Structures are given as C-alpha cells and as structure tokens.
A and B are shown apart, each in its own frame.
Chain A
Amino acid sequence: MKSIEVISAGMHTSFQDLGRFNFAHWGCPVSGVMDEYHAKLANTLVQNSLDEGVLEISLLGPTLKFMHDALICVSGLEAKIQLNDQLKKINHAFVVQSGDVLKIPQITRGNRVYLAVHGGFNRKKILGSVAQFQSITKNFSLQKGEYLQLNKIDLEFAKLNLNAHVSVENEHYKQHEIIVQKGPEFKAYQVELTKALQSSLFQIGKNSNRMGVELLPELQLNSTPILTNIIQPGCVQLTPSGKLIVLMKDAQVSGGYPRVLVLPQRSTDVLSQKRTGEEVRLVLG
C-alpha cells in the first residue's frame, strides 16, 4: 500500500523511534529521536503509542505527497508547515487528503520537528527499532523517490474532533540553563570543572550532530584518557584538549574520554534543539 511519496527528502530526515536498546553488545548505538518530548507529543496528538516510529526532520524539511487520507501531526518548537498552500499549526493534529502535498520548508526555531501519522508507518523493525543507522538499516536517511507505507487504519475522518485542548509544555526549551549531574569521572576534575561551570557560558559548536553536541570554548583543563569504557547518550566527555562533548542518540557504545557529567533526558531534549552558536549554561543539579 503506497501511501506517501517522498518528493524531496530535505536536509536530513530519518525514521526514528525511542531507540534500539539491547544491542550494545554488538556495538549498536541506542539511536532514536533526539528530542523525546516533542516526538512523544506528536504521537500522542495522533493517538499513537509513544514508541511508534516518526520522521525526524532537520532544519530544511521534506516535501511529501500523500496518496490517501491520514491524520498527522508535526511537533517541535516552531516551523513553517504548508499543506498545499495553506499554513498549518505546529503541535496540532490535522487531516490530510489523498493528493495533498505537505511541505516543511523551514524550521524556524530549534533544530528538529517530528512528523507522526495516526496508525503509524508500516516499517520493518531491525534489531528492535525502525531507527535508521549506517550498517544497520539500508539507508541512514530518507531518500528522494521513496514510497512510505502506512499501517492500515479504520478512522472516520469526518467524525474527528480535532479541537481537543492539549497543553504543550515546552517553555523550558527557551531557557539557557541546562541541568547536569555528576558523571563517573567527575571527581578527578571536580575543582576546575565546578569553577568552569559557574563562570562559563558555552556555545553550541558547529560539529554537532546526532552523535554528539560540542560545547565551546574549550576549558583551560586537560584530561587524561581512560580505559575504553561504557558510554551512552547523555554522557558528557572531556577531551584531552578540554572540550566538552555531550553524547547524543547515535553515539558509540564505548569511548575513552573521561565522562565528567551526565545529562538527564529532559536536558538532552532541550540541548538537541539548541542551534549552532546558541549559548547555554550548565547547572549542576
């Protein structure tokens, strides 16, 4: 059942869900959505379960042609969402009809938005997840010309009440403060690190992606590599030259830089939406 044609794929659009959990013993990263709050919100608004696969769309989004009716939602901070020539609201479910073209030309606040479709995409899970990742799935991003299938659903679109009130609580995404906790190697760098966190604002570096977010400038602090140990999304590594790197969803499963801090999920959600050049302050909580 061909349901959606990918007219253009956008800058980087990929299938994601809550991740590929139990395959670290084969070296597979967790993967999954960078901003869990908004991905879950998108699924919630179209009445899906929270771990249903969604499209994660970065900065310049795709153009998708629907080949039959569907109930969909785009969630995130701010984006231009066009259905044919009509503008649609973010974080609101709406119905698309067969033949409609959905365009997300630009994300205007944050880095990523999530597209969920009621009933979910009909997508094969590989190692327990639909998340796209090199060497695990055939492609690591959506491809132009691809057809996406939807699961069969029974929905009377005419009878839907789409005006139900949903409170979107994403004000905290506007704050500069990001709560961090102590990591396994915090102690060895405690004095310098605590001082640095109190006095510095960090900028999101341009080498930030789904694997990690770099925080600049580098600290006046040198670290010593550790034995290759376990790392996972949320860990903050301190490189030998003093750079802090927050590991994100596609991070490797093992690494040899000290893990000085750890971000809780709510903090990585917020960080994933901070753009290159934006400033943050890390607050030990």
Chain B
Amino acid sequence: MLIQLENEINPINLQHILQIKTIVKRLFPSSYTYNTYAEVGIRFPYFEDLTEKIKLLKAEFNAEKNEERTLQLTSKTIEVPVCYAEELAPDLNAFLQQKNMTLEKFIELHTQPKYLVYFIGFLPGFLYLGGLDKQLYHPRKANPDPKIEAGSVGIGHHQTGIYPQDSPGGWHIVGKTPIDLFDVNQAEASPFQSGDQIQFKPISLEEYKFQIQQMK
C-alpha cells in the first residue's frame, strides 16, 4: 500500500509522514512501514483486503487532524565527525575556488546546521538529508566519478550526504567521516532513522586516522 502526501520536501511533510507511520503501527501491528520525502510504503505480511484498512486509517487520521500536531520530528541529534583535510577531500579546493570562499567559512557553513534525516535510500545506509546552507548549493559534476570511497562527504545540487560504500557518484567530495554508515554486524546496521537530526563535527586528520585505527 502506498500513501502519497504533498509532493514537496519540507519538515512538516515529514512530520505528517511520521504521524501516519505511528497510526499505521498502532492499527496494524504486524505491518511494516517506510518512507521517502512524500510517500509512506506499507507492507502487510499476507495478502489482505485493504478496503477496510484504508477506511480505518482515514478515520483515524482525520480524527487527529484538528488536534495540535505536537509530534516531535526527533528527540535525537547524532554527531558525525568529518575531516575536511585536503587529502580526504579531492574536490574541496576547486569547490572553494569556484565559490571564492575560505576553508574556515566553508567548515562553518557545513557544520553549523542540524541536518534532518528525511529517509534512507539509494544504497544501504545512504541518508537523504535536508538543511544545506544555500551558500553551499553547487551543481553536480557533469561526469560522475567511477569510484568514490565509503565515508566520503559530498555536495550535489541542494544536498549534502555521505557515501555509505564505495560507489560511483556525481557529487563534489569535500570531506570524509571515519564512521561506518552501514554495518550489518552491528545490532542496528544503520544508526540513523527517518526524523533524526545529524550535525557534522570537524575533526583533524590525526583524529580521523586515530578513529579509523580504533575501528580496526
């Protein structure tokens, strides 16, 4: 079952989505829900007649409509260390030159916002984040790189994000995080979920190398 909301990217839409997911979970405990910017996907364990379920859902959602939607987007802000050293950020210098911006200014603009995790998609562990400062908007590369290393932090168009695994990609690589974004050996393969917020914390190259060493 697919539920569509207004086709836009904004925190209020996400708030509604999280609310719908909560209602669905309450009404149908055996269902599985996930979302993108503006859609909720619901899977049921068996083929079932959905007519009744849709009726129930509508009634429930409408009943809550007039109430204050106080559901908090998140109670959780997760800090993600990022190293902006030249050797880990192959595209940073060109980026700064084109923007006529200093490294300090860039780091300030990139680490200040709390980015909202809208959902995880594309590749296992890939976060769709909202909240990039307008001054850092930058078109994607005309020709994608054949291989971007896992952990690379990139900027493409209006988005910033982290590559969870080695993959081709068209974003400008401006830093790298030592943490694993997706590891099936952990109890929770991804530490993030839709509605969380993350904040980048600048670290030195030494700190980056130390953390990589620690993880081995």
User: Binary interface profile of A, 10-32, with partner B (CB < 8 Å = 1, else 0)?
Assistant: 00000000000111111110000
Asked whether, in the complex, the Cβ of B125 is within 8 Å of the Cβ of A21, the reply is no
Bin the interface of chain A by size.
20 to 34
User: With contacts A21-B32, A227-B38, A253-B34 known, is A184 near B119, CB below 8 A?
Assistant: no
Asked whether, in the complex, the Cβ of B124 is within 8 Å of the Cβ of A26, the reply is yes
Asked whether, in the complex, the Cβ of A230 is within 8 Å of the Cβ of B2, the reply is yes
User: With contacts A25-B34, A26-B190, A27-B124 known, is A230 near B165, CB below 8 A?
Assistant: no
* A133 (CB) vs chain B CBs: closest residue: B124
* A254 (CB) vs chain B CBs: closest residue: B121
User: Binary interface profile of B, 115-155, with partner A (CB < 8 Å = 1, else 0)?
Assistant: 00001111111101000000000000000000000000000
Contact of A227 among B2, B37, B43, B124 (CB under 8 A): B37
Bin the interface of chain B by size.
20 to 34
In the assembled complex, the CB of B3 is this many whole angstroms from the nearest CB of chain A, namely: 10
A25 to B34, alpha carbons, bound, how many Å? Answer: 5
| B193 lies within 8 A of chain A by Cβ | yes
Chain A residues with CB under 8 A of B125: 26-27, 135
Chain B residues with CB under 8 A of A137: 184
Which residues of A187-222 have CB atoms within 8 Å of chain B's CB atoms? none
* B121 (CB) vs chain A CBs: closest residue: A254
Asked whether, in the complex, the Cβ of A135 is within 8 Å of the Cβ of B182, the reply is yes
Asked whether, in the complex, the Cβ of B184 is within 8 Å of the Cβ of A127, the reply is yes
Asked whether, in the complex, the Cβ of A134 is within 8 Å of the Cβ of B165, the reply is yes
| A170 lies within 8 A of chain B by Cβ | no
Q: Select the residue from B2, B38, B124 with max chain A CB neighbours within 10 A.
A: B124
Work out how many contacts link A and B, with CB atoms closer than 8 A. 81
Chain A residues with CB under 8 A of B121: 27, 228, 252-254
In the assembled complex, the CB of A266 is this many whole angstroms from the nearest CB of chain B, namely: 14
Main secondary structure of the interface of B (DSSP, over half): loop
A232 to B34, alpha carbons, bound, how many Å? Answer: 12
A253 to B36, alpha carbons, bound, how many Å? Answer: 9
User: With contacts A21-B43, A26-B190, A135-B165 known, is A227 near B122, CB below 8 A?
Assistant: no
Contact of A230 among B9, B36, B126 (CB under 8 A): B36
| B39 lies within 8 A of chain A by Cβ | yes
User: With contacts A21-B32, A127-B189 known, is A229 near B123, CB below 8 A?
Assistant: no
Which residues of B1-55 have CB atoms within 8 Å of chain A's CB atoms? 2, 4, 7-9, 32-39, 41, 43
Asked whether, in the complex, the Cβ of A26 is within 8 Å of the Cβ of B36, the reply is no
Asked whether, in the complex, the Cβ of B119 is within 8 Å of the Cβ of A229, the reply is no
Contact of B41 among A27, A28, A230, A252 (CB under 8 A): A230
Chain A residues with CB under 8 A of B2: 184, 230
| A126 lies within 8 A of chain B by Cβ | yes
| A155 lies within 8 A of chain B by Cβ | no
| A226 lies within 8 A of chain B by Cβ | yes
* B150 (CB) vs chain A CBs: closest residue: A135
| A162 lies within 8 A of chain B by Cβ | no
A230 to B39, alpha carbons, bound, how many Å? Answer: 7
Chain A residues with CB under 8 A of B190: 26-27
Chain A residues with CB under 8 A of B182: 26-27, 135
In the assembled complex, the CB of B116 is this many whole angstroms from the nearest CB of chain A, namely: 15
User: With contacts A184-B2, A230-B2 known, is A28 near B124, CB below 8 A?
Assistant: yes
Which residues of A102-158 have CB atoms within 8 Å of chain B's CB atoms? 126-127, 133-137
A26 to B127, alpha carbons, bound, how many Å? Answer: 9
Asked whether, in the complex, the Cβ of A254 is within 8 Å of the Cβ of B165, the reply is no
A226 to B7, alpha carbons, bound, how many Å? Answer: 8
Chain A residues with CB under 8 A of B197: none
Which residues of B68-122 have CB atoms within 8 Å of chain A's CB atoms? 119-122
A22 to B8, alpha carbons, bound, how many Å? Answer: 25
Asked whether, in the complex, the Cβ of B120 is within 8 Å of the Cβ of A26, the reply is yes
User: With contacts A227-B9, A228-B121, A252-B123 known, is A135 near B41, CB below 8 A?
Assistant: no
Asked whether, in the complex, the Cβ of B123 is within 8 Å of the Cβ of A227, the reply is no
| B194 lies within 8 A of chain A by Cβ | yes
In the assembled complex, the CB of B2 is this many whole angstroms from the nearest CB of chain A, namely: 6
A180 to B205, alpha carbons, bound, how many Å? Answer: 54
Asked whether, in the complex, the Cβ of A126 is within 8 Å of the Cβ of B184, the reply is yes
User: With contacts A228-B37, A254-B36, A254-B121 known, is A27 near B165, CB below 8 A?
Assistant: no
Given known contacts A21-B43, A230-B39, what 7 new A-B pairs fall within 8 Å (CB)?
A23-B189, A25-B33, A27-B126, A27-B164, A134-B165, A184-B2, A230-B36
Contact residues of A with B, CB < 8 Å? 21-28, 126-127, 133-137, 184, 226-230, 232, 252-254
Contact residues of B with A, CB < 8 Å? 2, 4, 7-9, 32-39, 41, 43, 119-126, 128, 164-165, 182, 184, 189-190, 193-194
